[in-house]
Structure 1
Amino acid sequence: MPDLLDSITERQAEILESQINAVRQVVTGISAMFCLDCERPIPEERRAALPGVELCVYCKELRELNAKHYRGNQ
């Protein structure tokens, strides 16, 4: 039984790693220096952490909250 659980846990870890890598590959490109919504500067740390970022943290959170609201997930 432990072998089966080890195998399942290992497979789940592989799937998670492949999903993370897939997302990392999609988000590439040159990051914006200024937020597209509010035009405030985007900090260098954020641009380095998320290649291709176009929004500041505040505007990104606002968009996510609006999307969640309109999907009906409150």
Structure 2
Amino acid sequence: MADIADYANDLMLERLDDMLHSRRSVTLTSSAEFCEDCGDDIPSARRLAAPGCTRCIDCQALDELERRH
């Protein structure tokens, strides 16, 4: 006979499967080639590491810093 821990584990696994399935169906947008703030080129390594990015790493860091304060 299953106990409450078994039910909780089954529920957790079901929710995890749902989250993973929805993650796979997310379509990634392409990254910008030029920063929307300063206009500099966004390096290809950044575009690959952060799909959908629109800012260079410096402008992104400044934006995040401004949002904190």
Tell me if both proteins adopt one fold, taking TM over 0.5 as the criterion. yes
Alignment partner, residue 59 of structure 1: 59
Alignment partner, residue 45 of structure 1: 45
Instruction: Give the C-alpha shift of residue 53 in structure 1.
Output: 0.7
- Stretches of structure 1 that go unaligned for 5 or more consecutive residues are 1-6, 70-74
| Cα-to-partner distance string for 1:34-66 (whole Å, 9 max, x where unaligned) | 000000000000001111110000000000000
Q: TM-score, normalised by structure 2?
A: 0.62
Cα distance in 1 for partners of 2:49, 2:65 equals: 22
Structure 1 consecutive aligned stretches of length 4 or more whose deviation exceeds 6 Å: none
Cα distance in 1 for partners of 2:57, 2:50 equals: 11
Name the aligned partner's letter for residue 60 of structure 2.
Answer: K
Aligned residues between the structures: 63
Alignment of 1:35 onto 2:35:
yes
Cα distance in 2 for partners of 1:33, 1:64 equals: 20
Cα distance in 1 for partners of 2:49, 2:67 equals: 23
CA RMSD of aligned residues (A): 3.4
Q: Which has the larger radius of gyration?
A: 2
- Stretches of structure 2 that go unaligned for 5 or more consecutive residues are 1-8
